[in-house]
């Protein structure tokens, strides 16, 4: 595979063409911002997994303009620099290279909670805060010319320190609308000094930063520049300017270009959700390669090996960057190299275990891989004495319990009431835009067959059978089912639930009303629209609350955009009242009207399937319930609940 061949970025040789993209990892820091053992274990696991070049989370080159950075890793601290040296040594022991991402700061996208009282945020010009644009206290002031000069010079000192600590290169954080990007972009840069005005002047901050690095760290020290080819935003950068920037960066002396797209306002590009196609930004890298001779790194849902390989084999990019995919599967490169694609845990692009854990101040982790970010704290310790474990239910929670159980040395038996594994992952994976869930389902099916587990499909467990089985521990993972439709089923599939539709039952006719504005309703409506049906989506919510329970805003914003693009007729504050032969009568406040449709699909809430748990009662200390049968939740809740229960099950006490 060309993906696994060595290549170069400037003077640096990399053993393969796989780059770990920079991602926030604040929850892994020590209290003083230092990179301690937990931080090193996180990156070390990816280096041991075969990654050629690892990019750390972003490091601030100066703490002068954004005071909250004083609690973070400091490039000026000798103590912190010693930790960077430890990280470099660790990565080098696995023949991986270390790239330190350097940033100018947040600027107008600084999160309000970290802004100290009385401190004004900064930007290239006076700009409203992205999060609270109407708050006058958060309007960013324009950085002075002298401050801009000093900030640009800071990149030279920072890069020099990185090189002293053993880093192999630096990456400049010039994308996604952060402060560096604000200087580069006319929408946010309305300066009249040498840092503003023409697009040539708007690149002067970058020119001075690159020149400072070459002067202080050496002209042979590789510089990667990450930027967005386009912002996909009115008034932002267009592709033509993005290609011109690539040529200018090459003239400045950077060694490689890391190309993505988008900004905070169009976050579904830099933080690509599950609805984006795999390799969603490869085309942008290809365009840059057409105007620059520099190595180009592409990024964006490249965790499928065949997609990544195609990008480099066809010459559309020289390197591929994977971020979240390496959180789900730290052994990604090793498994690709060994031809073990079937054993790769593919990221489902939910952002819940990574981005949102980090925002919450918790270790950056993964919904599917709880060990990520907890490599030291959460080991699966082998049992001291052999024990048996019965798991009832083979959805994501049950299979994770079985996996963790075998890893600890339990004799595991798995009962599943249906004839298939996966639980509600099956209907959830039906739409073609849910490839990530499809791949996760297939992974679980293969995994459970590989595990040393006694499996019984078609086994509807009773309380008596569970008790008589005599396992040392019992885990109930019986999942959830959809609430029944509030109308009689009717004839010829005139009334169905969303689960029935997503399991393959075809609704009657071409005109379909989907009842329910949650995630299930929105995705079902989009699925049906993709079949060429005319879809009406009703919700009792206000229009701005559509799919509001979708945890990650990147996924939600793109889902709403897809619904709009599919011409789905959304009726807020609307409830179907009754189904008639020629349509559905809906209630909008005190007004009723009939909508001409052929069938209704009910996308109601999921309710816990807890009848077995109730039958067993609470008299046994060795029986536990996890996942949706406790409370319907997301995949992360199922997987983490199972993992942590099995990890410490000997010490768990069942709630009275």
As annotated, the active-site residues are 178
CB 455 within 8 Å of CB 351: no
Query: CA-CA distance, 561 to 396, in Å (whole number)?
Result: 29
Q: Which of 363, 441, 451, 343 is nearest to 402 (CA)?
A: 451
Q: Quote the tokens at residue 405.
A: 């159980």
CB 261 within 8 Å of CB 546: no
Write the DSSP assignment of 181-239 as a string of letters: HHHH-TTT----STTSSSHHHHTHHHHHHHHHHHHHT-TTS-EEEEEES---STTS--H
CB 270 within 8 Å of CB 228: yes
CA-based R_g, the chain, Å: 27
Q: Beta strand pairing status for 473-476 and 388-392?
A: parallel
CB atoms within 10 A of CB 164: 12
Q: Which of 187, 204, 182 is nearest to 195 (CA)?
A: 204
The CA-atom distances, in angstroms, between 352 and each of 331, 378, 445, 453, 518 are 21, 19, 23, 30, 18
Residue that has been written with the tokens 């009832």 in this structure: 392
Q: What is the helix (H) or strand (E) element at residue 427, kind and residue range?
A: helix 425-428
Exposure class string for 559-593: b at 16+ Cβ within 10 A, else e:
bbebbeeeebebbbebebeebeeebbebbeeeeee
CB 442 within 8 Å of CB 450: no
Q: Which of 557, 558, 507 is nearest to 536 (CA)?
A: 507
Long-range CB pairs of 650-653, under 8 A, 24+ apart, other chains included: 652/624, 653/621
Q: Quote the tokens at residue 430.
A: 């039906």
Residue that has been written with the tokens 């206000």 in this structure: 542
The C-alpha torsion from 124 through 126 and 131 to 136, rounded to 10°, is 150
The C-alpha torsion from 300 through 297 and 267 to 550, rounded to 10°, is 20
Residue that has been written with the tokens 């009662």 in this structure: 617
Q: Quote the tokens at residue 481.
A: 């089912």
Query: CA-CA distance, 485 to 515, in Å (whole number)?
Result: 9
Give the angle 151-156-158 at the CA atoms, nearest 5°: 85
The CA-atom distances, in angstroms, between 110 and each of 19, 69, 140, 141, 487 are 27, 11, 10, 13, 49
For residue 615, give every residue at least 6 positions away whose Cβ sits within 8 Å of its Cβ, in sequence order, or none. 462, 463
End-to-end CA distance of the chain: 56
Q: Quote the tokens at residue 648.
A: 């410490």
């Amino acid at each position: 595979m060309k993906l696994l061949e060595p290549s170069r970025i400037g003077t640096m040789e990399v053993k393969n063409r796989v780059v770990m993209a920079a991602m926030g990892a604040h929850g892994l820091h020590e209290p003083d911002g230092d990179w301690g053992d937990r931080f090193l274990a996180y990156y070390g696991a990816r280096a041991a997994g075969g990654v050629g070049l690892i990019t750390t989370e972003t490091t601030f080159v100066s703490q002068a303009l954004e005071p909250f950075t004083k609690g973070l890793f400091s490039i000026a601290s000798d103590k912190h620099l010693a930790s960077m040296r430890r990280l470099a040594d660790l990565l080098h022991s696995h023949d991986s290279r270390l790239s330190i991402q350097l940033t100018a700061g947040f600027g107008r996208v600084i999160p309000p909670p970290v802004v100290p009282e009385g401190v004004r945020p900064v930007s290239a010009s006076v700009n409203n805060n992205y999060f609270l644009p109407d708050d006058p206290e958060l309007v960013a002031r324009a950085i002075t010319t002298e401050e801009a000069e000093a900030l640009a010079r800071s990149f030279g000192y920072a890069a020099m320190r990185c090189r002293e600590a053993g880093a192999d290169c630096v990456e400049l954080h010039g994308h996604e609308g952060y402060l560096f990007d604000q200087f580069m972009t006319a929408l946010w840069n309305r300066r009249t000094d040498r840092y503003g005005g023409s697009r040539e002047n708007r690149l002067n901050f970058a020119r001075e930063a690159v020149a400072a690095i070459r002067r202080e760290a050496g002209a042979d020290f590789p510089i990667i520049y990450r930027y967005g080819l386009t912002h996909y935003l009115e008034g932002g950068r267009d592709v033509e300017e993005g290609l011109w920037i690539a040529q200018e960066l090459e003239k400045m002396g950077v060694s490689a270009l890391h190309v993505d797209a988008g900004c905070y306002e169009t976050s579904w590009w830099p933080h690509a959700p599950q609805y984006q196609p795999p390799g969603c930004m490869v085309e942008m890298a290809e365009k840059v390669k057409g105007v620059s001779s520099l190595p180009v790194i592409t990024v964006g849902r490249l965790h499928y090996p065949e997609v990544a390989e195609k990008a480099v084999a066809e010459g559309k990019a020289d390197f591929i960057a994977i971020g979240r995919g390496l959180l789900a599967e730290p052994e990604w490169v090793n498994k690709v190299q060994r031809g073990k694609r079937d054993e790769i845990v593919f990221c489902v692009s939910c952002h819940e275990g990574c981005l949102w854990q980090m925002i919450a101040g918790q270790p950056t982790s993964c919904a599917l891989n709880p060990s990520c970010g907890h490599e030291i704290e959460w080991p699966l310790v082998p049992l001291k004495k052999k024990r048996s474990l019965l798991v009832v239910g083979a959805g994501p929670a049950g299979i994770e319990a079985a996996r963790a159980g075998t890893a600890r040395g339990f004799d595991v038996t798995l009962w599943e009431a249906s004839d298939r594994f996966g639980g509600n992952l099956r209907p959830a994976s039906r739409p073609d835009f849910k490839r990530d869930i499809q791949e996760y389902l297939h992974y679980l099916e293969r995994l459970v067959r590989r595990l040393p587990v006694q499996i019984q499909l078609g086994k509807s467990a009773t309380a008596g059978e569970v008790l008589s089985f005599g396992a040392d521990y019992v885990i109930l993972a019986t999942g959830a089912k959809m609430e029944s439709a509030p109308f009689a089923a009717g004839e010829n599939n005139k009334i169905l639930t969303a689960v029935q539709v997503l399991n393959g039952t075809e609704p009657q006719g071409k005109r379909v009303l989907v009842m329910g504005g949650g995630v299930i309703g929105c995705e079902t409506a989009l699925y049906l629209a993709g079949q060429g049906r005319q879809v009406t989506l009703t919700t009792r919510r206000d229009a701005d609350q559509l799919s509001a329970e979708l945890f990650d805003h990147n996924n939600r914003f793109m889902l709403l955009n897809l619904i709009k693009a599919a011409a789905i007729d959304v009726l807020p504050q609307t409830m179907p009242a009754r189904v008639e032969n020629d349509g559905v009568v809906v209630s909008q406040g005190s007004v009723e009207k009939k909508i001409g449709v052929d069938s209704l699909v009910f996308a109601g809430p999921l309710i816990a399937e807890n009848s077995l748990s109730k039958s067993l009662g609470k008299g046994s200390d060795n029986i536990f319930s996890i996942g949706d049968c406790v409370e319907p939740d997301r995949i992360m809740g199922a997987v983490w609940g199972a993992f942590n229960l099995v990890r410490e099950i000997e010490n768990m006490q069942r709630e009275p």
